[in-house]
Amino acid sequence: MPPHVETRRQDLLDGLQQFLRIPSISTLPEHQPDIRRAAEFVAAELGRAGLRNVGLIEGAGNPLVSGEWLEAAGKPTLLCYGHYDVQPPDPLEEWKSPPFDPTIRGDDIFARGASDDKGQTYLLMKAVESLLASRGSLPVNVRFLIEGEEEVGGRHIESYVRARGRQIGADAVVICDTEMFAPGLPTLCIGLRGILYTEVEVTGAGHDLHSGVYGGVAPNPIQAVAEILGGLKGADGKILIPGFYDKVRPPDQAELEAWSRLPFDEVQYREKEVEVAELVGEPGFSVFERAWARPTLEVHGIRGGFTGEGAKTVIPARATAKISMRLVADMDPQESFRQFADSVARLTPRGCRSKATLIHAAGPSLVSTDNRYLQTAARAMTEIFGRQTVYIRSGGSIPIVGVFDQYVGIPSVMMGFGLPDDNLHAPNEKFHLPNFFRGIEAVARYLELLGQ
Amino acid sequence: MPPHVETRRQDLLDGLQQFLRIPSISTLPEHQPDIRRAAEFVAAELGRAGLRNVGLIEGAGNPLVSGEWLEAAGKPTLLCYGHYDVQPPDPLEEWKSPPFDPTIRGDDIFARGASDDKGQTYLLMKAVESLLASRGSLPVNVRFLIEGEEEVGGRHIESYVRARGRQIGADAVVICDTEMFAPGLPTLCIGLRGILYTEVEVTGAGHDLHSGVYGGVAPNPIQAVAEILGGLKGADGKILIPGFYDKVRPPDQAELEAWSRLPFDEVQYREKEVEVAELVGEPGFSVFERAWARPTLEVHGIRGGFTGEGAKTVIPARATAKISMRLVADMDPQESFRQFADSVARLTPRGCRSKATLIHAAGPSLVSTDNRYLQTAARAMTEIFGRQTVYIRSGGSIPIVGVFDQYVGIPSVMMGFGLPDDNLHAPNEKFHLPNFFRGIEAVARYLELLGQ
């Protein structure tokens, strides 16, 4: 480990813990003050790193945090992206230590946002800070753009970047918000799924009804949601929305072969990572295809009726389901949502009315491996980790990647330092500390190689 | 109105309001102190009425309240049944006045339990009190047995009555816990559906998962619940559990003809009472058959995943559905639950495990019209309301009726004074005050006629 990282180990941990203590949950309005505190924390860190023009960009939504260092004349400009918002921590009772009281156990730090994405955003800032501190200058130009709405669709940054297009002034984006395929295996992510997050509200009778008096006569909106869900996705995992798969671009033969060479033990994955008796999903596709290259439809929760302790015999007047779909290249979010909404309307049983609302949407993205920004990143990762870097995709969504591709025309380099068992969006989220420190080195090395 | 009711009008209202202010919700453990307060209120009222041996009967569950007056030598003994527990009031925000702050608007009193069953239990006590006060004695013998678990299965009273059998010492039961078919139309209920209240828990992965990373690979317990629900009941409302309908006894021709003569406007019922675009349910059966004489399966709520504001992309590790079935004569609750549990197991999709738990059960009941207790009640109701009493069934469940039939061998006389729009188990439950006062008269007249 280079001296500028080694000697500052405790400082780096202290700073990360401070960041992780802020419960900047973007989906819960009561955490708006925490969102602002997190944004201000990031701005302070960028200032400390030595960036110029640091500030909060206000707009419709949570503030973006920006800063820049543009004194490497003739060198490329990298846009460094991360997000300071996090997912809600529930179910709280399953955390072994409180989600916003970062706790180190063994080589891991446990907290909501540890890996997604505060830990990785922080290492990006610290890589730049350590280069500037040790060399007095950077080998390339950098602009930081850190957002606070990634977990809720990233509307602010999307409109900001779309409005500026090429004026954004960068040649590539570097993003640390993905994971390594396996511990110690340097990994670049080249594909992400898009997302449609929706709410489907079903209404039946004008008021809640007694299931004894009206059972057999009145429609039940929860049963209706169940029927709709069963009609949207078959028991075999195939999505039944007409036209939904039409634009799906299958991975090419070379990519499929590369996936087949990845060090992957499906039994281990099933038993230790997913902890499930049987993996499921669309018949005829491998685990990687199902998780990375096929669209999905998942229900996240159904609100309505009675779910407390004990018994209440109610037929509720309404029920609301949160349903998301993941999209893959070359699906179009708007078209896919129309297909979804049409299917929901068609599947709504008699006696009920339904409304499908799009909460947020992001397109899928797929980066070509044929560019120097990606290839140089692979080289830096290989050097630092001592193994050949692999290219993978991720089943998750980072909405901004598609925006940079479509509206700015620049590639995103996704250097991920998370691990598959980091419990993203789940209780006991963690970040592997050796990856935190090596991540700082790898990003710093990437900037050095890019500047040569 | 006889003077003993007329002059005490305000006293009666004051007492009823005091009863309704106690939030004696039997399904919520935190309301245990209120359960006890309600039991003590009932005991105090029975004492005030002039009954002997008034007291609380403790046991496994909420206390029963008993009292007796057995000085009418050679006359029959009536067991007066009611319940002092109520349903939870949620959703609270839909109440126009607080559920436990009884409020009179027009001719109605609004509160949780107003009709089901505090108002009707109170009128039963007040009928006996007014007779004793005005005559100094009762025309028949009475025993009161008021329970506090009707809304959660009535285990205590069931075991109490089963253990005593004919030793309970009564010739018939009188119950005020049902409704009149239409305003002003005196009604006796002769059939009730039984109930199976269950919880089905489905588990998938060992922990909550990120729907991006694992969507397409991991089982989704909420989707599994949806598939199970769709497999238990078809879109046409037919229950698909093998053998479920085998023991259903169809109503005879005379009963069907009597139903067809009831003053019923299906459009009015649909638009004003149920407030729904279309009535649903099993094809080939009338509204009365579907609501009174056919079994049902209804889901009341699904717990699991994320239902808060905004978006969370989680595949939950588990989901729990509250599902009840209403049973009709001659279905057997134990056998029906076994059939249900077998179907749930069979319908559970791969990758998931499920467990069906029976929360409470009660058999259906059907009382023969060929007995003097029922016929005398019809005469009393006809006298007081000035119209011919009709016989109907109810789709709801009063578990104790089946117990009195099966274990004591005595008929239940269900003199109901609720109205179809009383919002039982729903926000803005009410009781029609003219029915409250006439109910007191009708019960008093019933006792007089029975004693002649």
For chain B, domain boundaries: 3-192+364-451, 194-248+295-362
B252 burial level (CB within 10 Å; 0-12, 13-18, 19+): exposed
The neighbouring-strand residues paired with A298 are A324
Residue B4: per-residue pLDDT? 57
**Closest alpha carbon within chain A to B321:** A307
* The pLDDT of residue B393: 96
Q: Closest Cα partner for A221 from A204, A198, A200?
A: A204
**Bridge-based pairing state of the strands A77-83 and A172-175:** parallel
Q: Which residues contact A91 (CB under 8 A, 6 or more apart)?
A: A427, B208
Before A117, cis peptide (omega within 30)? Answer: yes
Structure confidence by residue, pLDDT tens digits, B24-77: 999 999 999 999 999 999 999 999 999 999 999 998 899 999 999 999 999 999
Q: Cβ neighbours of residue B122 under 8 Å, at least 6 residues apart? A: B15, B16, B19, B45, B436
What b-and-e string marks burial along B367-397, b requiring 16 or more CB atoms within 10 Å of the CB? beeeeebbebbbbbbbbbbeeebbbbbbbbb
Q: Do A280 and B233 touch (CB under 8 A)?
A: no
pLDDT tens digits, one per residue of A48-94: 999 999 999 998 899 999 999 999 999 999 999 999 999 999 889 99
Residue A150 DSSP label: G
Mutation site for B-interface testing, chosen from A179, A196, A280, A393 by largest number of B Cβ within 10 Å: A280
The confidence score (pLDDT) of residue B5 equals 61
Answer whether B313 sits within 8 Å of A425, measured CB to CB: yes
Q: Look up tokens 């339990």; give the residue.
A: B113
Q: Note the pLDDT of residue A91.
A: 85
Please name which of A205, A355, A201, A30 lies closest in space to residue B94, comparing C-alpha atoms. Answer: A205
* Per-residue pLDDT reduced to its tens digit, B55-65: 999 988 999 99
Cβ-based contacts under 8 A for chains A and B? 334
* CA separation for the pair B168, A360 (Å, rounded): 64
Could you tell me which residues come within 8 angstroms of residue A153 by beta carbon, excluding any fewer than 6 positions away?
A: A195, A197, A359, A360, A361, A362, A399, B311
Residues in chain B closer than 8 A to A214 (CB atoms) = 274, 291, 395
d(CA B208, CA B437): 56
Lowest mean pLDDT among A186-190, A220-224, B308-312: B308-312
Q: Which positions in chain A touch B420 (Cβ < 8 Å)? A: 213
Instruction: Report chain B's terminal Cα–Cα distance, integer Å.
Output: 21
Paired residues of A392 in beta bridges: A189
The partner residue sitting opposite A279, judged by closest CB among B278, B308, B351, is B351
Q: Is the Cβ–Cβ distance between A420 and A182 less than 8 Å? A: yes
Q: Do domains A3-192+364-451 and A194-248+295-362 have the same CATH topology?
A: no
Residues of B in contact with A393 (CB under 8 A): none
Model-level pTM? 0.86
Contacts of A311 in chain B (CB under 8 A): 27, 151-153, 197, 322, 324, 359-360
- Nearest Cα to Cα of residue A80 among A179, A161, A174: A174
Query: What is d(CA A215, CA A217) in angstroms, rounded to the nearest whole number?
Result: 6
Output the six-digit token pair for A196: 């449609």
Name, in order, each residue with C-beta under 8 angstroms of B375's C-beta and a sequence gap of 6 or more.
Answer: B369
**Burial group, residue B60, by CB count within 10 angstroms (0-12, 13-18, 19+):** exposed
Determine the pLDDT at residue A272: 92
How confident is the model over B146-157, as pLDDT tens digits?
999 998 878 899
Question: Quick check: B3 pLDDT over 60?
Answer: no
Task: Please tell me the CATH code under which domain A3-192+364-451 is placed.
Answer: 3.40.630.10
Complex ipTM more than 0.90, yes or no: no
Determine which of A199, A268, A313 to mutate to test the interface with B (most B C-beta atoms within 10 Å).
A313
Return all residues near B265 (Cβ < 8 A) that are at least 6 apart: none
pLDDT of residue B251: 96
CATH number of B194-248+295-362: 3.30.70.360
Residues of A within 8 A of B89 (CB-CB) are none
Tokens representing B376? Answer: 């005398």
Q: pLDDT digit string (tens) for A259-314?
A: 999 999 999 999 998 999 999 999 999 999 999 999 999 999 999 998 888 778 89
Q: How far is A220 from chain B (nearest CA, A)?
A: 7
**Can you tell me the distance from the alpha carbon of B113 to that of B450, in angstroms, rounded to the nearest whole number?**
29
| A425 has a pLDDT exceeding 90 | no
Q: Map residue B298 onto helix, strand or coil.
A: strand
Residues B220, A299: C-beta atoms closer than 8 Å: yes
State the nearest Cα–Cα gap between A334 and chain B, in angstroms: 18
Structure token pair of residue A168: 């954004």
Nearest CA in chain B to A30: B309
Distance CA B364, CA A346 (A): 37
For residues B304 and A300, give the distance between their C-alpha atoms in angstroms, rounded to a whole number: 8
Does residue A168 have a pLDDT over 80?
yes
